[in-house]
Chain A
Amino acid sequence: MTGNILFNVIVFLTSAIICVYIAKRLGLSSVLGYLLAGVLIGPYVLGFIGEEGEDILHFAEFGVVMMLFLIGLEIEPKNFWNMRKTILGMGGIQVVGTILLSYFLFMFFGYESNVSLVISMAVALSSTAIALQTIKEKGLMATTFGTSAFSILLFQDIIVIFMLGAIPLLSNAKNAPIEKSVGHGNLLDGLPFGFQTLAIILSVASIIVAGRYLIVPILRKVARTGVRELLIASAFLIVFSISLLMEYVGLSPALGAFLGGVVLSNSQFKHELESTLEPFKDLLLGLFFMAVGASINFVIISKIPLTIGGLLIIIILLKAFVLFITGRIFKLKFDQKLMLTFGLAQIGEFAFVVLSFAFQLNILNQEQMDIMLVVTALSMSITPMVSAFNERILLPKIGTKESIKRPMDHIAKSHKIILVGFGHFGSTVGRFLRSHGIEATILDHNSNRVDFLRKMGFEVYYGDATRKDLLESAGIAEAKILICAIDNMDVTKKVTKLVKENYPHVELMVRAKNRDAAYDLLNMGIENIYRETLDTSLALAKDTLSKMGFRKYTLNRQVKNFIKYDEDSLRRLATEPKQDKNFIFKARKELEEQERLLNADLERGVVIYDDLWDSEQIRKTLEKQQKNNTAQNK
């Protein structure tokens, strides 16, 4: 048995590593890699996993729960409250619209009315796991598309509770006895509706109260012990307890976890919880996607490929249509609307729950159930591909265009500067350049910003700067300098590597987040590196010393000396080999680095003052001379 489990684990991990690696190398989302891995090890290809696939799916749903907990941590209660209109409005329109349309569709196909309704409910739900993971991976959470998608998904998480409550009412009277044996059960079954509602409200309230007055004090005690694994244990305990409580009262665990996250988002443990749970969440989500991949029933597909394919396309089109309308009503910009349309057009993991519940209640027969499960799994699997199609092929042509034609400005063209990234850092750079009449060509991946900048008369290209063709169309061939002001250092490295290898004539000016990033850039052979923390922190230190009575001009000169010294040591230390650089636990690595720097400071002496404007030395020398003279005179 143990051997069996070990073998399964090895199969999962191996396939995941291989497939995700390949997907990433091809520039695709990791979700697609996991799904593919699932298909490969599933019962129809290699057959490593069979029946247990469904259990794994249930287990891996904790990944979704954790993801929502983590998302909750990012959203402060105040912001959550501000989102209520989008959640109810967009979510409501999307769910109701989809259910109505799909209900008529399935009625038209000749299904019974209760069957149509159940299927429509399942269809209305999108995949939180796939959509949010993709959004986070691409760093689009802060865009209108990100928040809209999130609002809709959250609404679905809430509405699924009511769906599960309503489904038993749809079951035919003759099947009533079976219902009891199903035992989807929670503690509240059989209680009057009023009590159930009360219990739900109470449990939500208890999460909020416990978060404030129980969890935070416990975490504080745990943190004081300094034992790291205790914190991991506590983080898991929180998520699991909330999930269990939610399941007891019949709410979605994901929703509960989200609430728990929101409650804890104001606490000082926010970042520790995040960094603790993040890797587990990613692994569990990976497992979840693999389980979805493995659950695709290829036997049914081969039997009735046309029905399945047709249904899949019709459902995705239908969902996309409703999402598009929703985006339109809420006045999303065109390309944000398209991203929403394609991002949420799949049927989500909750559909598995709804469908199998309805199957247990004999509302659906085996065939309907199988078909819908396959369509659901397939729709989740093709989402990453549909999104990629949208991003690579559709969006560059419509919506916020990659580039717009402007009359050529020949002076600007001959001293061409490309500025990548126009956030807080890049915009300051761009403004200063512009105040000198130097118009940089800007590349940015935030479409709202791009439109705004174009209105301001900047030449802006929209899209991913790691794409060679985009750099080409921005005119990198004639560019003199490329300024890389990107926040994300991984992207920065990709861009600089690309430019350095393909356009060696372009001088690179690169923003570095910190020392570590600067090391990497130095080792890549980049000369002009600007650490964003160096000047600011020294300015603060300078002002602090000034408040303690040090003279400002002297401090000014010492800051200049320090910067020079630090730059020199940066260049020196960058060439030293760092063992296992990528594997050392990050926090420890940073500490070691600090230690190295402080030791170097110590060797250098606290402060070296030069003798400039210093009369001490002159006085001493003159004194000595005088003594010699008097000695001679004697």
Chain B
Amino acid sequence: MKKVLILFSHPTFEKSRANAILVEHVKNKEGVTFHDLYEEYPDFHINVSFEKKLLTEHDVIIWHHPFYWYNCPPLMKQWIDMVLEFNWAYGPNGTALESKTCLNVITTGGTKELYCSEGSNSYTVDEFLRPFEQTANLCLMNYLPPFLVMGTHKLTEEELEAYGNKYSELIDTLQNKKTNSIEHGVT
């Protein structure tokens, strides 16, 4: 069974209805390490060696965060800047993350209709996630399409529960099956 590391970044987790439900469904699963970055590093002082150790111990890396200004929250970016070191994660000898699996799990306030060339956000989420995709590529990881929960403001409790179950199923799939054949997305 593959080991999954959820790097969760949310500056106001206590106020997020959607993420509370999502996290509830996955954080205690077997083989899953739920790592709450804002709780661990409230002062942005990331323990790089500890993070590197965590990464080497896991096969699947999930960047789980809300979508703020078409991007991740700042601590998540800080994590990328600090932890993915030259000659470790990338560079001539940077092979530490080679062939690990990586994906974003994202909640957005706006609905799917807003994230397209006709919508007010002009681009799709996948397009906005190009930097993450390329980051994973440079680190020799297999980047999978994101798991999206969109329009969270309008979702009912039941719908959120359904997303939670889906998130959990996704992790089951990632743990047991060959990962590069997975197709998922929002219905």
In the assembly, what is the distance between CA of A618 and CA of B82, in Å?
14
Of A20-28, A111-119, A206-214, A606-614, the stretch lying at the interface with chain B is A606-614
B85 located at the interface, meaning its Cβ lies under 8 Å from any Cβ of chain A in the complex: yes
In the assembly, what is the distance between CA of A538 and CA of B45, in Å?
16
Which residues of chain B come closer than 8 Å to A560, judged between CB atoms? Answer: 43, 45
* Residues of B within 8 A of A (CB-CB), count: 10
Of B21-29, B86-94, B179-187, the stretch lying at the interface with chain A is B86-94
Are A612 and B92 in contact, CB atoms less than 8 angstroms apart? no
Seed contacts A560-B43, A611-B86, A621-B91; 11 additional CB < 8 Å A-B pairs: A557-B45, A560-B45, A610-B48, A611-B85, A612-B82, A612-B85, A617-B86, A617-B87, A618-B86, A618-B91, A621-B92
B87 (CB) vs chain A CBs: closest residue: A621
In the assembly, what is the distance between CA of A610 and CA of B82, in Å?
10
Sorting the interface of chain A by its residue count into under 10, 10 to 19, 20 to 34 or 35 or more gives 10 to 19
B118 located at the interface, meaning its Cβ lies under 8 Å from any Cβ of chain A in the complex: no
Are A621 and B48 in contact, CB atoms less than 8 angstroms apart? no
* Contact digits for A598-634, partner B, Cβ 8 Å, 1 yes 0 no: 0000000000001111000110010001000000000
Are B81 and A613 in contact, CB atoms less than 8 angstroms apart? yes
What's the least CB distance linking B94 to chain A, in Å? 10
In the assembly, what is the distance between CA of A560 and CA of B45, in Å?
7
What's the least CB distance linking A427 to chain B, in Å? 24
In the assembly, what is the distance between CA of A461 and CA of B159, in Å?
50
B83 (CB) vs chain A CBs: closest residue: A612
Which residues of chain A come closer than 8 Å to B92, judged between CB atoms? Answer: 621, 625
B78 (CB) vs chain A CBs: closest residue: A612
What's the least CB distance linking A530 to chain B, in Å? 16
Are A621 and B43 in contact, CB atoms less than 8 angstroms apart? no
In the assembly, what is the distance between CA of A555 and CA of B2, in Å?
40
A selection of 15 A-B contacts at a CB cut-off of 8 Å is A557-B45, A560-B45, A610-B48, A611-B86, A612-B48, A612-B81, A612-B82, A612-B85, A613-B81, A617-B86, A617-B87, A618-B86, A621-B86, A621-B91, A625-B92
What's the least CB distance linking A474 to chain B, in Å? 30
Which residues of chain B come closer than 8 Å to A613, judged between CB atoms? Answer: 81
In the assembly, what is the distance between CA of A617 and CA of B93, in Å?
13
In the assembly, what is the distance between CA of A617 and CA of B86, in Å?
8
What's the least CB distance linking A56 to chain B, in Å? 63
Which residues of chain A come closer than 8 Å to B43, judged between CB atoms? Answer: 560
Q: How many A-B contacts at CB < 8 Å in the complex?
A: 20
In the assembly, what is the distance between CA of A621 and CA of B48, in Å?
21
Residues of B within 8 A of A (CB): 43, 45, 48, 81-82, 85-87, 91-92
Secondary structure of the A contact surface, majority rule:
helix
Which residues of chain B come closer than 8 Å to A625, judged between CB atoms? Answer: 92
In the assembly, what is the distance between CA of A621 and CA of B94, in Å?
12
In the assembly, what is the distance between CA of A618 and CA of B48, in Å?
18
B86 (CB) vs chain A CBs: closest residue: A618
Which residues of chain A come closer than 8 Å to B45, judged between CB atoms? Answer: 557, 560
In the assembly, what is the distance between CA of A613 and CA of B87, in Å?
13
Which residues of chain A come closer than 8 Å to B87, judged between CB atoms? Answer: 617, 621
Which residues of chain B come closer than 8 Å to A612, judged between CB atoms? Answer: 48, 81-82, 85
What's the least CB distance linking B182 to chain A, in Å? 34
* Contact digits for A547-560, partner B, Cβ 8 Å, 1 yes 0 no: 00000000001001
In the assembly, what is the distance between CA of A612 and CA of B45, in Å?
12
Which A residues between 463 and 503 are near B, CB-CB below 8 angstroms?
A: none
In the assembly, what is the distance between CA of A259 and CA of B85, in Å?
69
A618 (CB) vs chain B CBs: closest residue: B86
In the assembly, what is the distance between CA of A38 and CA of B45, in Å?
63
In the assembly, what is the distance between CA of A598 and CA of B48, in Å?
26
Most chain-A Cβ atoms within 10 A of its Cβ — which of B48, B81, B86?
B86
What's the least CB distance linking A617 to chain B, in Å? 6
In the assembly, what is the distance between CA of A219 and CA of B148, in Å?
78
In the assembly, what is the distance between CA of A611 and CA of B48, in Å?
11
What's the least CB distance linking B56 to chain A, in Å? 18
In the assembly, what is the distance between CA of A611 and CA of B91, in Å?
14
Which residues of chain A come closer than 8 Å to B48, judged between CB atoms? Answer: 610, 612
What's the least CB distance linking A629 to chain B, in Å? 11
In the assembly, what is the distance between CA of A152 and CA of B90, in Å?
80
In the assembly, what is the distance between CA of A369 and CA of B87, in Å?
96
Which residues of chain A come closer than 8 Å to B91, judged between CB atoms? Answer: 618, 621
What's the least CB distance linking A85 to chain B, in Å? 52
In the assembly, what is the distance between CA of A557 and CA of B85, in Å?
17
Which residues of chain B come closer than 8 Å to A621, judged between CB atoms? Answer: 86-87, 91-92
Which A residues between 518 and 557 are near B, CB-CB below 8 angstroms?
A: 557
What's the least CB distance linking A538 to chain B, in Å? 13
B90 (CB) vs chain A CBs: closest residue: A618
Most chain-B Cβ atoms within 10 A of its Cβ — which of A611, A612, A613, A625?
A612
In the assembly, what is the distance between CA of A621 and CA of B90, in Å?
12
In the assembly, what is the distance between CA of A411 and CA of B142, in Å?
49
What's the least CB distance linking B40 to chain A, in Å? 13
B91 (CB) vs chain A CBs: closest residue: A621
Which residues of chain A come closer than 8 Å to B81, judged between CB atoms? Answer: 612-613
What's the least CB distance linking A122 to chain B, in Å? 67
In the assembly, what is the distance between CA of A560 and CA of B47, in Å?
10
In the assembly, what is the distance between CA of A613 and CA of B82, in Å?
8
Which residues of chain B come closer than 8 Å to A617, judged between CB atoms? Answer: 86-87
What's the least CB distance linking A561 to chain B, in Å? 8
The 7 A-B pairs at the shortest CB distance, nearest first, are namely A560-B45, A618-B86, A612-B82, A625-B92, A557-B45, A621-B92, A617-B86
What's the least CB distance linking A243 to chain B, in Å? 59
B88 (CB) vs chain A CBs: closest residue: A611
In the assembly, what is the distance between CA of A618 and CA of B85, in Å?
10
B45 (CB) vs chain A CBs: closest residue: A560
In the assembly, what is the distance between CA of A617 and CA of B92, in Å?
12
